[in-house]
Chains A and B, each alone.
Chain A
Amino acid sequence: MDSALAVLNAAPLWLVVTIKSALLLLVVVTTFAYAMLAERKVMGWMQLRPGPNRVGPWGLMQPASDAAKLILKEDLTPSTADPLIYKLAPFISLLTAFSVYAIIPFGAGSQGTWAIGNVDAGILFLMAISSLGVYGISLGGWASGSKYPLLGSVRATAQMISYELAMSLSFIGVLILAGTTSLDGIVSAQARLWFCIPQAVGFVIYVITAVAETNRTPFDLVEAETELVGGFHTEYSGLRFGSFFIAEYVNMLTVSCIATLLFLGGWNAPFGLTMVPGVLWFVAKVATFMFFYIWLRATLPRLRYDRLMAFGWKVLLPVATLNLIVTAVVVAVRG
């Protein structure tokens, strides 16, 4: 083990980063595939039906068959579409969804944190990259050259920029408490007390805005099938549709990771249960958050669009601002 680490330390940086990225990509894509299966299974149980159970034992090969189906499907481009942007949009979505993982740490060992890159401005970097995710959806909807995708993408843009504000404000509360912007530092600051307790309001705001940012039920106005056929990806088929699909689930995974890092103590073990490795705690917390997502989808109906916008601007934003002010004052007074 030590000799293997020595070899790794001697290897050039680009090689190490490439190997780490390839491994992480594999892990994230596999997680996406089984998150999708888990969602269908859990939703099935919640609605008193078995869920997918035909492909492989207990339906475990379902993701593979879905992938094969998506790859083999015909790739259609509507004649009214703008071909260049239409083909570019799914890639923008995928790129922004995956590039976040360059800096997310999954655990800590004696050799430092388990991340591809450990940057000091970690949380700002996350905000920067995830704020680019909206382009895939808005450009894709516009380039389809058809009215329902356009409506879907206009909704998505408005919704995502509105909820991003409250989300950023909920981050700043955590930053004030931790006193650092590096994700590593934020997790170490939670060694004694997870930030979901002193930042309870911020945590609730984050959870709501996270669901809205990833366009999931009850905030999935972007692809409201009763109003917009399929929303921004109505015209997409085959692997290009698959790209949007993967990006959505990877984004879900990302916001779950951020929730774990910022509010749920990262890889810190609860109740002093340190015999379980930190990375397992991290995975368990992320999985809990993902389950919460699925639970929401099976439970809640979709919001009306004007209610959604009013909620974002008139409730979440003022409450987030108030939370920020109170946190700052308390931290300043206690010194």
Chain B
Amino acid sequence: MIAFWVLSVVLIASAVWTITAQKPVYSVVGLLANFAALAILYLTLSAEFLAVIQLIVYSGAILVLFVFVIALLSSGVAPFAAGPNRMPKAALPAVALVCVALGFVVFAVTRGEVAIPPPPAGSTSALGPVGTADVFGSVGDFGKALFTTYLLPFEVTALILMVAVVGVVLLSGTAPAKAPTRRRAAGVRRELREAVVRDGEDRR
């Protein structure tokens, strides 16, 4: 419980820091702290595999690209100039509304009025300390669930990601120059020959 409160404070503080920091790299550092705290929070919830993947995918790959782009784009270490305030006027009421809604969720969960869904039928995962093999949330358990019960959603997600990658390449990449076909090469040769002939006629 102590771990939960400490991690929560770190999580929220780093998230606020990420949003309010003047320099983009500060935001990246805040996000890094956020991801690390989130990974530890997953560990306390006995989601070992999720914690590790959180670090590998988000901190190890995506955030590195952020740093890479910022380092490439921003010259020097000066803070970015603040742009026009594009926040709509409804921002404050919206925040209040979300806070109230979240408060209701927390209240309901602590009062025990919302039932936490039971594990799916056929699940044999036993509860146990984090870090031991074949308990709920371990690599083996997660893999089994992913490739048996949840195989279809998993494959569909993979397909969607693949489509996204292809889409990005299609939208952002420049079209390659058309490869010279035999017919076009013959056309170019003919044009050259005719040009030479014309040139000769002009000289005459």
Contacts and interface: CB of A to CB of B under 8 A. Distances in A.
Interface in B24-53: 25-26, 29, 32, 39, 48-49, 52-53
Contacts of B133: 120, 180, 182, 185
Contacts of B76: 80, 145
Interface in A128-179: 128-129, 131-132, 134-135, 138-139, 141-143, 145, 150, 153-154, 157-158, 160-161, 164
B93 to A, nearest CB: 35
A132 B59 contact: yes
B68 interface: yes
Interface residues of B, number: 31
A153 B71 contact: yes
What bracket does the count of chain A residues touching chain B fall in? 35 or more
A164 B67 contact: no
Given A124-B139, A131-B59, A161-B64, A82 B77 contact: yes
B45 to A, nearest CB: 15
Contacts of B65: 161
B124 interface: no
Contact of B55 (A119, A131, A150, A161): A131
A120 B131 contact: yes
Contact of B131 (A119, A154, A161): A119
Contact of A145 (B49, B67, B77): B77
A161 B69 CA distance: 13
Interface in A104-127: 117-121, 124-125, 127
A80 B78 CA distance: 9
A135 B32 CA distance: 9
Given A82-B77, A119-B131, A131-B64, 5 more contacts: A120-B134, A121-B131, A124-B53, A131-B59, A139-B29
A135 B67 contact: yes
Nearest to B39: A128
A121 B77 contact: no
Contact of B56 (A82, A84, A127, A181): A127
Contacts of B39: 128
B75 to A, nearest CB: 9
Nearest to B68: A157
A88 B33 CA distance: 12
